Amino acid sequence: MATEIYGASDDLIEFDGDVHGEVYGGDDPTLLMCSDGTFLTIKYGKEHLAIWSITLLREGSLFERIDLCLDGDADRYSDTAHFADGLEWAYSASKWKVVD
């Protein structure tokens, strides 16, 4: 089953498909690390609108695309990340730092 990741409400990150559930997403970007090697950030408040934005940091083997949302009145007011069948898990981190 394919997996979709998107924001809902103003504080929830939803996972539908092979990986299913939700996690809290605060005011700061949340880092999502997926079993296929994909790294994403997701944040509420895209361009000062009531829209969730998703940014691809690293593309993994099952990552397909991100559908962009630019309409705060859309049914799903969020960018949506799509994955092919087979995603096994995802981790979220609200406190993180890149170490070069």
What global pTM score does this model have?
Answer: 0.94
Cα–Cα distances (Å) from 24 to 59, 81, 84, in that order, read 23, 17, 24
Mean pLDDT calculated for residue range 21-34: 92
Domain ranges of the chain: 3-93
Mean pLDDT over 23-50 rounds to 92
Percent of the chain with pLDDT over 70: 100
What is the pLDDT at residue 98? 81
pLDDT at 26 over 80: no
Q: Would you state the pLDDT for residue 93?
A: 95
User: What pLDDT, in 10s, does the model give residues 56-75?
Assistant: 999 999 999 999 999 988 99
